[in-house]
């Protein structure tokens, strides 16, 4: 590569400049403080660790495995992975490093790395912030997590016109079990549901056991009342299907009671990370944004890889995405050089107000601080802040 191009960054990786970095850092601090106020304890996890540890989710989520950078450890010769998601690391902490009896709540914020962008016009190095709740399989835990996610979005100033999507993998999964379908057929159905390809779905399910129910699941995926009317009695009375259906309905009702003005949509065939999630799934969207602002769901048994299976639910978001389009210009005050006690006291007092103060060096003048917005000037023996 020519020397003139050595400053270029890889695709999907970018610098964050002061105007946006200030917004992102403020949002990170504000979000972590908010999560702490809800009882979620902050943890830091390593950027890289043995792939066997990170594979606690990769075994059930091939997308995560493909997103993980892998390198050889020069000390041990073992395979290492650069974290593509922090959830498996928090599960390791819950299982062995900080094993709490009963319910444990954790939050985190840190950069993760993906081999490829996970969506259109997204970074390969998101600043992931999230919360996880371990030790409760109740609907109350799911409702708490959904409420927490929406509240966090509100704290970030994005509550206007947001939309909540709810789904539950248990409906599709229980129907697959009832019909006794193969893994290959399951994958084909999942693909048809994801593409919302109703004509193809009708043709594909025509000769399947419970074929009309599989079609109905896609046809009325966003209407629980219509599902109840059109699904067969055998399916509706199946214990696993009924439990998933009731959990989805109850969660919707409880979230709506807490957020009466929130638009809530249902999609029972939203099967993203289908093999990873075990129950309720949720995501928040905003107008004019293709990707979810935040998303999560239930993933019971996550600690089994570490010898301590626990029910769990959680969500995460990308702080870069939450802060997209927001910029801030800091108020920067320039002070003249000098060691006069009154000047130094004025500088200290200005900084105590939360303002940035830069004192000139050597032969510098105001032109040496092109982003300065104010200056300290001596007016009749008093140091005063004036706009430049």
- Determine if residue 6 is labeled as part of a ligand binding site: no
* Domain final residue pick, 256, 285, 314: 285
Same domain, 251 and 141: no
- Look at residue 380 and tell me if it is in a domain: yes
Same domain, 109 and 179: no
- Look at residue 3 and tell me if it is in a domain: no
* Domain final residue pick, 250, 285, 320: 285
- Look at residue 266 and tell me if it is in a domain: yes
Q: What was the pLDDT predicted at 2?
A: 65
Q: What was the pLDDT predicted at 74?
A: 95
Q: State the residue for tokens 């990308």.
A: 318
Same domain, 264 and 374: no
- Determine if residue 132 is labeled as part of a ligand binding site: yes
Q: Compute the half-sphere exposure of residue 3: CA atoms within 13 Å on the CB side of its CA.
A: 0
- Look at residue 6 and tell me if it is in a domain: no
- Look at residue 262 and tell me if it is in a domain: yes
Same domain, 33 and 151: yes
- How far is residue 282 CA from its own chain's centroid? 11
- Look at residue 2 and tell me if it is in a domain: no
As beta bridge partners, residue 168 has: 280
3-class DSSP string for the chain: CCHHHCCCCCCCCCCCCHHHHHHHHHHHHHHHHHHHHCCCEECCCCCEEEHHHHHHHHCCCHHHHHHCEEEECCCCCCEEEECCCCHHHHHHHHHHHCCCCCCEEEEEEEECCCCCCCCCCCCCCCEEEEEEEECCCCHHHHHHHHHHHHHHHHHCCCCCCCEEEEEEHHHHHHHHHHHCCCHHHHHHHHHHHHHCCHHHHHHHHCCCCCHHHHHHHHHCCCCHHHHHHHCCHHHHCCHHHHHHHHHHHHHHHHHHHHCCCCEEEECCCCCCCCCCCCCEEEEEECCCCCCCCEEEEECCCHHHHHCCCCCEEEEEEEHHHHCCCCCCCCCEEEECCCCCHHHHHHHHHHHHCCCEEEECCCCCCHHHCCCCCEEEEEECCEEEEEEC
Alpha-carbon separation of residue 213 from 133, 186, 187, 199, 249 (angstroms)? 34, 14, 17, 15, 19
Q: What was the pLDDT predicted at 56?
A: 59
Q: Which domain holds residue 336?
A: 332-387
Q: What was the pLDDT predicted at 58?
A: 46
Same domain, 52 and 117: yes
Q: What is the pLDDT along the chain (388 residues), one digit of tens a residue?
A: 566 667 889 999 999 998 899 999 999 999 999 999 999 999 999 999 998 888 655 445 677 788 899 999 999 999 999 999 999 899 999 988 888 889 999 999 999 999 998 776 678 999 999 999 999 999 999 999 999 999 999 999 887 789 999 999 999 999 999 999 999 999 999 999 999 999 999 999 999 999 999 999 999 999 999 999 999 999 999 999 999 999 999 999 999 999 999 999 999 998 877 778 899 999 999 988 888 999 999 999 877 777 788 999 999 999 999 998 888 888 999 999 999 999 999 999 999 999 999 999 988 999 999 989 999 999 999 999 999 9
- The CATH number for 198's domain is 3.30.930.10
Q: How many domains does one find in the chain?
A: 3
Same domain, 337 and 323: no
Distance CA(85)–CA(262), nearest Å, equals 29
The answer to whether the CB of 139 falls within 8 A of the CB of 262 is no
- Look at residue 4 and tell me if it is in a domain: no
* Domain final residue pick, 285, 320, 351: 285
Same domain, 275 and 220: yes
Same domain, 200 and 298: no
- Determine if residue 310 is labeled as part of a ligand binding site: no
Same domain, 249 and 276: yes
- Look at residue 8 and tell me if it is in a domain: no
Q: What was the pLDDT predicted at 302?
A: 78
Q: What was the pLDDT predicted at 59?
A: 46
Same domain, 126 and 170: no
Same domain, 24 and 136: yes
Same domain, 154 and 190: no
């Amino acid at each position: 590569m020519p020397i003139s191009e050595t400053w270029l960054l890889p695709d999907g990786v970018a610098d964050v400049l002061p105007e946006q970095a200030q917004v992102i850092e403020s949002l990170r601090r504000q979000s972590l403080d908010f999560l702490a106020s809800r009882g979620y304890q902050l943890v830091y996890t390593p950027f890289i660790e043995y792939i066997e540890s990170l594979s606690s989710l990769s075994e059930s989520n091939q997308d995560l495995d493909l997103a993980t950078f892998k390198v050889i450890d020069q000390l041990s010769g073992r395979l290492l992975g650069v974290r593509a998601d922090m959830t498996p690391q928090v599960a390791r902490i819950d299982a062995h490093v900080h094993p709490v009896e009963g319910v444990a709540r954790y939050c985190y914020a840190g950069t993760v790395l993906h081999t490829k962008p996970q969506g259109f016009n997204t970074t390969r190095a998101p600043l992931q912030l999230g919360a996880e709740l371990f030790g409760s399989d109740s609907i109350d835990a799911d409702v708490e997590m959904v409420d927490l996610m929406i509240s966090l979005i509100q704290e970030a100033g994005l509550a206007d016109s947001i939309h909540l999507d709810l789904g539950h993998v248990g409906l599709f999964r229980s129907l697959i079990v009832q019909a006794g379908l193969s893994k290959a057929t399951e994958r084909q159905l999942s693909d048809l549901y994801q593409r919302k390809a109703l004509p193809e779905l009708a043709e594909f399910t025509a000769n399947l056991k419970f074929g009309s129910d599989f079609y109905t699941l896609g046809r009325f995926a966003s209407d629980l009342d219509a599902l109840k009317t059109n699904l067969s009695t055998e399916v509706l009375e199946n214990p696993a299907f009924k439990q998933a259906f009731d959990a989805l309905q109850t969660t919707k009702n409880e979230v709506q009671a807490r957020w009466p003005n929130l638009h809530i949509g249902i999609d029972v065939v939203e099967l993203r990370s289908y093999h990873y999630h075990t129950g309720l799934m949720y995501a928040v969207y905003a107008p004019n944004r293709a990707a979810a602002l935040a998303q999560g769901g239930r993933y019971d048994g996550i600690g089994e890889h570490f010898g301590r299976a626990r029910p769990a639910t959680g969500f995460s978001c990308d702080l870069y995405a939450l802060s997209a389009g927001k910029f801030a210009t800091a108020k920067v005050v320039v002070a003249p050089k000098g060691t006069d006690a009154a000047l130094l006291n004025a500088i200290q007092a200005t900084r105590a107000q939360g303002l940035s103060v830069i004192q000139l060096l050597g032969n510098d003048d105001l032109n040496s601080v092109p982003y300065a917005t104010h200056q300290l000037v001596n007016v009749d023996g008093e140091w005063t802040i004036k706009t430049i």
